[in-house]
Amino acid sequence: MKRIINSILAAVFASALMLACTNDDVEPVGTHDKNSVTLEFDNRVGAQKMALGNTTYKNASGEEFTLTRFNYFISNVALKKADGTVVKFPDQYFLIRQSDPTSWEPELKDVPAADYSEISFTIGVDSTRSVSDISARTGVLDPTSYGDDGMYWSWNSGYIFVKMEGTSPVVPLNSAGKRAFELHIGGYGGREATAPNNLRSVTLPLNGTAMVRKDIAPTIHLVADFMKVFDGPNTIKLAETNSVHNPAVAGPIADNYMKMFVVDHVHND
């Protein structure tokens, strides 16, 4: 009996400790405090870590493929507080390149201290910035900054929002003797005339709370599952869709990749 009482006491004590931890260890929200939030983009293909080059994956249509390039722009991030108000970050643009691990965990800067429960963002570069003056195109928006990895259409001025390239035995041979696919998705809706718009926005629950404090800069760990590019609301088959360089045909692919993101978890440290 004594042992049972001791166990109960211990359990109560432990619970009390835990409560203490969750309630008191987090510093209070300082009205003027700001910190950064790291957005960790973890690209996967189904249940596998994404690797460029030799690894062969298979989509739901049974098509085998490898990936040689996977890049995407993220912009217009907004965070929703527990009380429902939304904080927007319109001037921060991120370019995630699978080939460059330093680009996988961009930092969202100047986030006001608060508890956040939801994130939203645009996949691509919004139309306002897509037509802005060259002097406003710095960092990842500088159209001269991409090298061979071009994320900008010079002939139809605008950014390539998502660039996906690889090979597949179901793709016909190209002039270079390769069975390569290229899916380049862009199109912000046109400057004057109305043109296809492939900008897509995503809103995701944080699967936890991001607690931004003076001394806490949380990390939001997002998973992007490339398999959803083929097997989302639309079924995309590489045998049929393997060369996309114009906005009009890209809509169904954009509708798929907007479903590829989930928030896996949040670290508050």
Choose between 120 and 246: whose C-beta lies nearer to another protein: 246
Nearest Cα to Cα of residue 93 among 131, 139, 130, 132: 139
Q: Alpha helices, DSSP H only, in the chain? A: 2-24, 127-130, 227-230, 251-257
CA distances from 191 to 26, 101, 123, 130, 138 (A): 48, 34, 19, 9, 20
User: 23 vs 135, which CB is nearer to another protein?
Assistant: 135
Span from 112-120, 187-195, 206-214, 219-227 in contact with another protein (CB under 8 A) = 187-195
Residues in contact with another protein, shown as a per-residue x/- string from 71 to 110 under the rule CB under 8 A: ----------------------------------------
Does position 208 interact with another protein (CB under 8 A)? The reply is no
Please identify, using beta-carbon distances, which residue of 38 and 197 lies nearer to another protein.
197
Q: CB of residue 192 vs another protein: minimum separation in angstroms?
A: 7
Closest by Cα among 41, 148, 56 to 101: 41
Q: How far is the CB of 234 from another protein (least distance, A)?
A: 19
Q: How far apart are CA 41 and CA 123, in angstroms?
A: 13
Residue with smaller CB distance to another protein, 222 or 250? 250
Smaller CB distance to another protein: residue 56 or 132? 132
To 5 degrees, how large is the angle CA 55–CA 58–CA 60?
A: 160
Per the structure block, which two tokens stand in for 139? 């960092």
Instruction: For the segment 132-171, give every residue that binds another protein (CB under 8 A).
Output: 133-135, 137, 142-148, 150, 152, 154-157
Give phi and psi for 2, each to the nearest 5: -60, -40
* CA 268 – CA 244 distance, rounded (Å): 40
Instruction: Name the residue nearer to another protein (CB basis): 189 or 208.
Output: 189
Nearest distance in Å: CB 195, another protein:
5
Block residue for tokens 């004594």: 2
Any contact of residue 175 with another protein (CB under 8 A)? no
Q: CB of 162 within 8 A of CB of 257?
A: yes
31 binds another protein, rule: CB under 8 A: no
The contact pattern for another protein, residues 223-252, with x = CB under 8 A and - = no contact, is -----------------------xxx----
- The SS3 of residue 146 is coil
Binding site for another protein (CB under 8 A): 131, 133-135, 137, 142-148, 150, 152, 154-157, 190-196, 246-248
